[in-house]
Amino acid sequence: MGLSFHHLERFLLEEEIFLENGLKYKKYFIELGGLKAKDHVLDIGSGLGRMAIPLTNYLHKKASYEGFEIVKSAVDDCSKRITKKFPNFSFRHVYIENDLYVKNGACASKFVFPYDQNNFDFAWASSVFTHLEPDAVINYLKEARRVIRPGGRFLATFFLMDQESIITSQKSKYPFKFKIHDAWYMSKISKGANVAFEEKKIVQWANDAGWKKAKTFHGSWSGRKGATTDFQDIIIFS
């Protein structure tokens, strides 16, 4: 049985949003993060290829894309759809425990990225730190620093809490009401669903991990004024 008009319309809309979001981040990578077509890049949490697809017509053949993901079906799908046509794009499945997707996997706070030291020029983590506990955030910042070459850049998205967003977010769709130690949560039950952190704390952890600079671009998620990115906050580490 084929799709009804309603379901077809919804499918096409979701596909359009998927591609639109990927193109938006491609622009962020280039304009905010300084991504070059010759770079060797790492996608932390590659999903269904939302970021990879727009880069297939940007990265040179001698450049490389590596992505790792906790959902195996997504990795298999990307390998079939993307790697088959673009052999310099590679996807890897990893077992990391997550409240929403994976049980009995490796602990994110101790997970070692499956790549050698100084292997990449540029990396990103979109909607990854928004699902991690503090110890895991600290580990991922250290691991990103390890696998990215000196002079490289790391773009990551967050829900950042500061004096303004603490107030404005309470009236938004993302009210982080529960502050527990170094993190803010929307729910006490499923903590990994959405996690926010104080901006100054993230910068401190990044400095401890070896990052020298951190440039923030605030998003619109909290309802704050003067947002410079579409939704989540972005930090460029270098």
What is the spatial distance between Cα 34 and Cα 40, in angstroms, rounded to a whole number? 13
What is the spatial distance between Cα 238 and Cα 204, in angstroms, rounded to a whole number? 14
Residue 13 β-bridge partners? none
Residue 71 and residue 80 in contact, taking contact as beta carbons nearer than 8 Å: no
Tokens for 215, please give them.
């440039």
Residue 74 and residue 47 in contact, taking contact as beta carbons nearer than 8 Å: yes
Strand 148-158 versus strand 120-125 pairing type: parallel
The beta strand positions in the chain, using DSSP E, are 40-44, 64-69, 89-93, 120-125, 148-158, 160-161, 178-180, 183-185, 195-198, 214-217, 233-237
State which residues of the chain have pLDDT below 70. 1-16, 97-105, 190-192
Of 22, 26, 24, 29, nearest in space to 48 by CA: 22
Residue 99 pLDDT: 56
Query: Domain 18-158+199-216 is in which class?
Result: alpha beta
Residue 189 pLDDT: 74
Strand 120-125 versus strand 178-180 pairing type: unpaired
What is the spatial distance between Cα 93 and Cα 97, in angstroms, rounded to a whole number? 13
What is the spatial distance between Cα 237 and Cα 33, in angstroms, rounded to a whole number? 9
Q: How far is CA 142 from the centre of its chain?
A: 15
What is the spatial distance between Cα 4 and Cα 7, in angstroms, rounded to a whole number? 5
DSSP, res 106: B
The 10 Å CB-count burial string (b at 16+, else e) for 215-231 is ebbbbbbbbbeeeebee
Residue 132 pLDDT: 94
What is the spatial distance between Cα 145 and Cα 118, in angstroms, rounded to a whole number? 8
Cβ contacts of 13 within 8 Å, gap of 6 or more: none
Residue 130 β-bridge partners? none
Determine the 3-state secondary structure of 16 from DSSP: helix
Question: Which segments of the chain does DSSP mark as H helices, in order?
Answer: 5-31, 52-55, 72-78, 134-147, 163-168, 199-209
